[in-house]
Amino acid sequence: MCENQFCCNILWHTFASQTTIFSVYLSRHTADMEVRMNSIIFVTKNNNNFYKLELSKTLLHFVEYDFTYFWEQCIELGKASRTIGGYSSKQFTIIKNLISKCHPYFEAQINSDFENIVLDCIIEYICHSENIGLEELWARCISPKNLYEKSIFARISEYKTNHAINQWANMMRIQEYAKIKLDFIYDGDSVSSNTYKARKGYFDLTFSVAAKELGFPSQELPSTKCYNPSLMPNSAFMISKISKGILRRISNIVDNAEEPTYNSVNDCLRDQIGLDAFSYVKHLSRPQELELSAANEAFQSFSTEIYMPDSFKAIIDLEFDKMTENGIYLQRCEKCSKYFLQEMDYKGKFCNRVNASGLTCREQVDNDNVSSNGITEDLDTRCQEIYERLSKRVGDEFSESEFKEWAQYLVNMKENVKNEYSTVDDLEAFLDYSEKMYGEVKRKVAAKLARSTPYEAQIPKSSRPTPEPQKYHFPTLEELDKR
């Protein structure tokens, strides 16, 4: 082997190796990008954890979520608590956790906004079942006789002073809102991506115009902020590993700094506050490579965008926004009326959910299109149509007895297909000939056909070994024409 050829081989193997590595990297990178496009990461003000929301899946799970069992358990607990004049915090927590998976936002706020959702549900039930308002229930418990009435009085007082809302009632209203918006955007036949975006935009703008004209405070309506991971309000706690290393470097600066005081904060002070904080670290040098490498590794695990919704409605709206932005569209199943994710390689109108039959809607529809004898509905309809056509010719081109012979042939043919002694192709060949007979062949051919004897499938007796089914060959068009 010459030196040049040896060098070429070395270069080729090096290139092939690098190409393989690049291919693996590219496939992983593509998969990672796909996951990120189909999900978002969000945080909340009262929680230092990151939460993942899977686009479309989370929305569909929430709008279809059945809260009936939770409602029933709350009612039973409310009745028991009223009887004994108290309640068990442990039982309240157990029931609250029953719906912890209804939505990631509920999971994030389960110990803050939704801490008292069980009590809220009990209050809602009392007002509904006794047909009274909150004011009357509050007045009834104004001089509480026990811990149960005291808890109801305290909770309604929080409603009255705008320190809380009835989160159970809010949950039901949010679910209704999500369903209505879902129908507005996606109900009906598939349309273009621009049409979906236009529907969503029109829905949201209708809400904004109505809120503005009705006098609702526009600046206080639900909204979502977007951050990069390092500039989140709680980033120092949420990215604690890197934060601890930074704190070690700036500990002297922090220890010697005066604590800032601001009587009130409004928008015009935001830059001043931010730059005042920055002034303490503006001369900080770049960290060593080892520390920066560790930081880079940590940052790679985060999404480039972190969302912070300020309410449940805000995160519902955010999911709709990201779905249309990422080309994720839904369609209502014509079988079960539930929505499913549109697929590039599927143009039908049925979902892949397993229903009460144990089959998916697509499988069940396919199953419904095939009768129990293996003959499709379309083929069965064709048999019926030809039967009706020929029955009208009785007396004109052939006798009633000849027609009965033909009809019996058809019945035997379908029975043979059912028992797998003949194929559907054989039946279709017979129908093709029958249509030809109807259109062209006169009484002579009909008489020849009537004399043919249909094959009757014999079911073997149980005392003998079961033979393999014998396939019966029905005459083709050409064979019938030659007779």
Report the distance separating Cα 123 and Cα 127, nearest Å: 6
What's residue 303's pLDDT?
Answer: 78
Across 188-209, average pLDDT: 94
For residue 457, the model assigns a pLDDT of 40
Given this model, what pLDDT does residue 93 score? Answer: 95
* The pLDDT of residue 458: 44
Residue 306: per-residue pLDDT? 93
Q: What is the structure's pLDDT at 456?
A: 46
Q: In what order do the strands lie in the sheet containing 47-54?
A: 47-54, 39-44, 306-309, 224-227
- For residue 59, the tally of other CB atoms under 10 A from its CB is 23
The whole-number average pLDDT for the span 204-225 is 92
For residue 158, what is the enclosing H or E element? helix 147-160
Mean pLDDT of 438-443: 54
DSSP state of 229: G
pLDDT mean over 49-69: 96
DSSP states of 433-444: HHHHHHHT--HH
pLDDT band at residue 467, thresholds of 50, 70 and 90? Answer: very low
C-beta of residue 42 within 8 angstroms of C-beta of residue 307 = yes
Tell me the pLDDT of the chain averaged across its residues: 82
Q: Is the pLDDT of residue 17 over 70?
A: no
Q: With a cut of 70, say whether residue 374 has pLDDT above it.
A: no
In sequence order, the β-bridge partners of residue 51 are 42
In this predicted structure, what is the pLDDT of residue 119? 97
Residue 461 confidence (pLDDT): 45
> Global pTM?
0.69
Position 157 scores a pLDDT of 97
- In the chain, the percentage of residues whose pLDDT exceeds 70 is 80
What pLDDT digit, counting tens, does each position of 99-151 carry? 999 999 999 999 999 999 999 999 999 999 999 999 999 999 999 999 999 99
Greatest pairwise CA separation for the chain in angstroms: 115
DSSP 39-63: EEEEEETTEEEEEEEETTHHHHHHH
Higher pLDDT, 413 or 307: 307
Residue 31: the pLDDT is 43
Identity at 159, one-letter amino acid code = Y
Overall average pLDDT of the 90-97 stretch: 95
What pLDDT is recorded for position 368?
65
